[in-house]
Structure 1
Amino acid sequence: MDADRRGVLRASAAVAALLGGCASQASRRDDRTRSDRPTRTATPTPAERAAGEATAADADAADRAASDTATETETPTPTATATPRPNRPLATRTSAVVSEVRWFAREYPDAMERYREALDRGQETALELADQAEVTLAEAEAFDEDLSAVADDVADAVAPHFGIHNEIDDRLAAYGARVKRFARRGDEDRVEEELRLAAEYADGVGSDVFVDESLSRDPINNRLVRRLRNGSFQPARPLLYQIEYLTSGFRAYAFVTRHPRSPAPYDLDRPPLTDGERDAVLRAFDPLRVDRDRRDETLIAITPGRATREEPFGTTDPSVGRDRTVYVQRYESRGAARRAAAVALGRVGIDEFADDPTTVGDSQWDRIYYRVGGDTFYAYLTRAGPHLLVTGGSEVAWEERTGWGETHRRTWLAGDGG
C-alpha cells in the first residue's frame, strides 16, 4: 500500500470519530510535542477535493461558497469509518456556557428593567404609607403582601443568573414583618421608621450604582465565570475571559472581579475583544464556519494572569491569542452539528495519526490543518452535542508547540464547569 493511501485511511478515522454518536474507549495521549511522528501535508488532486466535498453535499450544498473562494483549502476529506468519540460531558458544559452568554446578550436588558420596576414599586408603596398620619393593621398586612410580590418579581427577573434575589426576599420579608408587628401595637413612630428603611433599601438595591457593581454584564461575575472554569478559583493564577456573542455583537469580560485580599476591583484599560482581534480570529477559523442550521456563534478568548501585589491580574491590558481563543458554533440539533462537521472537514486536512486524538481533560479533539491567505494554520476541532468547537489556531504545527493546552485544561473544555 503506498504512503498516500495509508495517509487517507488514517485520516478517515478522525472524520468518523468526529461525526459518530456512540460511546467507546479511545486511546489517550498528551498533546505536547510529538516530533517522532510527522504530519501529512500533501496537496490533493482536483478529484480528491471533489470527493471530499461530496461527502457533505447533502448537508450544505452551497454553504459558504464565497468563503471557499477566498480561502485556500488544500486537503481532502476521507470517507471511511472508525470508532466514534462523542464528547457528552463537554456538550453539557458548553450548552451551559453558551446559554448563559446568550442570556446576557439577549435578555439581560429586559431583566434589569423588570428588576428595577419591581423595586421602584416597593419603594413607592413604602413611602406612600410612611407619609400617612396613621397606618392600620390591614394596611400593614397589605404592605407585607406587596413586598412579597416585589420579591417574587425580582426573582423572576434575575434568578438563577444572580443570587441577589434571596437576600432581597429576606430583607423585604423582615421589613414587612416589623411593620405589621408595630402596627399591631399602635407604635406609629416605629411603623414609619420601618417603612422608610424599606424604601431606602429598595432604592439602594435598585440603583444604577448597585446594578453596575453587583449585577453587571461587563464585566460578568456570576455563575458564567464558574461554568467557564475547571476547578476552584486560583487568586494567584486568575483566568480572564473576553467574550463576544457574534450573533448580536455583544461583548464583555468575564472574571472574578475582586481579588480575595484586595477591596479594589480589577482595573482594565481596554475593551474586550477589539474589532481587529475579533476579525483576526475569525479569519483564522474561516474554513470552519458553516452557516446552515446554525443558531449562534460565540468567541471566548482565554487569558491567564499572574497576580502581583500591585496588579491582582498582573496586567491591565490582557491580550487575545488565537491559540487560546475558542470559537463555538451552536446548531439546531446534534444531527445538524454532525452535518456541519462534515462540511468543515471537507475543507481541511486531518493529522494522519487521527486515531490518536488530542485529549484535553475528558474531551477529545482532532488535529486539523488548512490554508488561509497563503498561510498554513493548525488547529483543534471537535463536536460536542449540537456544538462545533475549534481552538488552538496557529501557524505553529501541533507537534512543535510547547505546553499547549495548559490553559485550556483549566477551563470547561477539560471538565468541571460548575
Structure 2
Amino acid sequence: MEWTRRALLVGAAVGFSGCLSAGDSNVEYPETTTATAADEPLVEAEGTEPAVDEEPTPQQTEPAVPNRELATEVERVYGGIEWFATDYDESIATYQRVLGNAMATVRRVRNDAEFDANSLDLVRRSTDRAVATAASELGDHFGIPDQMRGEVDSHVATIRRFGNRGDLDRIDEELERLYAYLRGIRSDLFVRRVLSDRQIDADLYRHLHDDTLDPEDENDDDDEAPPGLFEIYHSAEYAGYAYSGPRYVERDPFGDDQDDDENEGQALLARQRTHFDTVSEPTDRTGFAYVVSYGIPDVANQPTDLEPLDYPHTSLFVQRYTDVSAATAAVRTLFDTAVGREGDFSFGRDRWHRVYYEADGDVTYAFLIQAGPFVLVAAPSEVAWEERVDWTEPLDRLWLWRP
C-alpha cells in the first residue's frame, strides 16, 4: 500500500544567456615591448629592495564528510548489499571447496589402519583451514565461522582425549561425527537455508533493521522492536530479501510468484525506477541500490503465505559515488536542474532536505540527504510531506530512525 495522488507539475524555466563579440577590432594599440641594445651595459638600481621570502603554499585539506556517522552506517548497508550482488557466489564456492578438502582429510585419516599424533595434526590443520576460510569469505556477513570454531574444537578435543587413552573405536566414531558435521554445513541445503542470498538472515538484516524500542510508546509491553522485512535490489541486477522471521516468501524478490499471474514484483521494480529516475545522477557513480521496507506484523500474526506487498511499504534509494566530492557534485547537479527543495525533516539524528520533482508526469515528494560518498532519497510519494498521515511505519523499521 503506497500513498498516491496525481498532480500535474507545471512550471517554466527562465534563464539568461549572452556572448562576447569576436573578430577584428578597428582600434590599434602601440607595441609595448622594449629592446635593450647589445652594447648597452646593464646597471643595477642603487636602491635594490631586499629579497622577500616566498609564502609557503597552503596545504590542501580533505573535504569535510557530510553526515559522517550516517555515512558509516550506509557503508555497512550498501557494502553488504554489494557483496551479495558481486562476491557471494565466489565466496560460497570457495567455502564449499575448502570444506570438501577437510572432509577428504578426515575420511583418509579414518580409513588408515593406525592413528597417531600425525593423524591428529592432519585433522587439526585441515579443519583450521576450513574455519579460517569461512571467516575470510563469509565472516563479515554470516555467523558460521564462530559456530564452526566451537564445533570443530569440540570434536578435535574429543579425538585427542580418546587418542591419549588408545581408544581407537571411540576415535573412529568421533571422526565419523566430525565428517558428518562438515558434510552438513557444506551441503547445498544448508547454504540455501542458512547462508542464503535470497532470504538473508545475517548481518545485513541487522544493519538495515532499527532494533531500538520507542521510548515514547507507553502501550508497548514487548521487549523487542517491530520486525523488519526489506526487499533489496542492486544495480548489478541482484535482488533479495533481508528478513529474520520464520516465513518463506514465495514471491521472488522483485520477481513473480509462480502461483500468481499479476507480476507484482516486476511492477514494484518498475515503480522504483519511475520514482527515482529524476533523482538519479550517474556521473561518477559506482552503483546504486533500492531498498523497500515493509511494515509487517509481529511473527505471531504473520501468515504462512507471507506476501510483503500486502503491508504498508516505502522505498529508499542509495547512490554511491567515487568520493565525497563526486557525491557533493551530484547533489548540486540535482538541485540545479530537476529537483526543488523546501525545508527539511529529521530522521532520527539527521536532517534531510524535503525535495520535490517530476516523475512520470506527476509531482513526487521525497527526502534527500548526502552522507559521505552516498546520496540517499527516501519515501517518494505523490502526497506532499505536510499532508501525509501515519506514513512513517514502514520507514520506522529502517536504521535511519536510530537516535
Q: Could you tell me which of 132, 147, 152 is aligned with 2:132?
A: 152
8 A contact 1:281–1:322 mirrored in 2? no
Q: Which TM-score applies when normalising by structure 2?
A: 0.76
Output one character per residue of 1:141-176: Cα deviation in whole Å (capped at 9) or x when no partner.
332232222222222221121111112112212222
Matched, 1:240 2:229: yes
Q: Distance in 2 between matches of 1:270 and 1:174?
A: 40
* Equivalence for 2:241: 253
Runs of 5+ in structure 2 lacking a partner?
1-8, 19-63, 214-221, 255-264
* Equivalence for 1:72: none
CA offset at residue 236 of structure 1?
8.0
Q: Distance in 2 between matches of 1:326 and 1:220?
A: 18
8 A contact 1:322–1:394 mirrored in 2? no
Partner amino acid, structure 2, of 1:47: G
Matched, 1:307 2:281: no
Q: CA RMSD in A?
A: 2.6
Output one character per residue of 1:118-143: Cα deviation in whole Å (capped at 9) or x when no partner.
22111111111112222123222332
Output one character per residue of 1:13-62: Cα deviation in whole Å (capped at 9) or x when no partner.
xxxxxxxxxxxxxxxxxxxxxxxxxxxx87243317x89xxxxxxxxxxx
Q: Distance in 2 between matches of 1:296 and 1:218?
A: 20
Output one character per residue of 1:340-367: Cα deviation in whole Å (capped at 9) or x when no partner.
0011112335344x3xx11111111111
Matched, 1:336 2:326: yes
Partner amino acid, structure 2, of 1:196: E
8 A contact 1:277–1:320 mirrored in 2? no
Q: Which TM-score applies when normalising by structure 1?
A: 0.73
8 A contact 1:307–1:313 mirrored in 2? no
Between structures 1 and 2, the one with greater helix share: 1
Question: How has the CA–CA distance of structure 1 residues 322 and 313 changed in structure 2, closer, same or farther, with 3 Å as cutoff?
Answer: closer
Q: Distance in 2 between matches of 1:244 and 1:272?
A: 8
Partner amino acid, structure 2, of 1:110: E
Q: Distance in 1 between matches of 2:392 and 2:67?
A: 17
8 A contact 1:94–1:412 mirrored in 2? no
Q: Distance in 1 between matches of 2:100 and 2:299?
A: 42
Question: How has the CA–CA distance of structure 1 residues 236 and 313 changed in structure 2, closer, same or farther, with 3 Å as cutoff?
Answer: farther
Local SS of the residue matching 1:305:
coil
Matched, 1:142 2:122: yes
8 A contact 1:362–1:415 mirrored in 2? yes
Local SS of the residue matching 2:278:
helix
Q: Could you tell me which of 15, 26, 38 is aligned with 1:47?
A: 15
Which structure would you say has the larger Rg? 2
CA offset at residue 381 of structure 1?
1.2
Asked which structure has the greater RCO (Cα within 8 Å, sep 6+), the reply is 1
* Equivalence for 2:275: 284
Local SS of the residue matching 1:407:
helix
Q: Could you tell me which of 375, 396, 401 is aligned with 1:388?
A: 375
Matched, 1:327 2:317: yes
CA offset at residue 318 of structure 1?
1.2
Percent of matched pairs sharing the same residue: 28
Q: Distance in 2 between matches of 1:223 and 1:43?
A: 45
Matched, 1:270 2:261: no
Q: Distance in 1 between matches of 2:194 and 2:357?
A: 44
Matched, 1:348 2:338: yes
Output one character per residue of 1:212-266: Cα deviation in whole Å (capped at 9) or x when no partner.
12111110111111111222487683221000012x1100010113xxxxxxx20
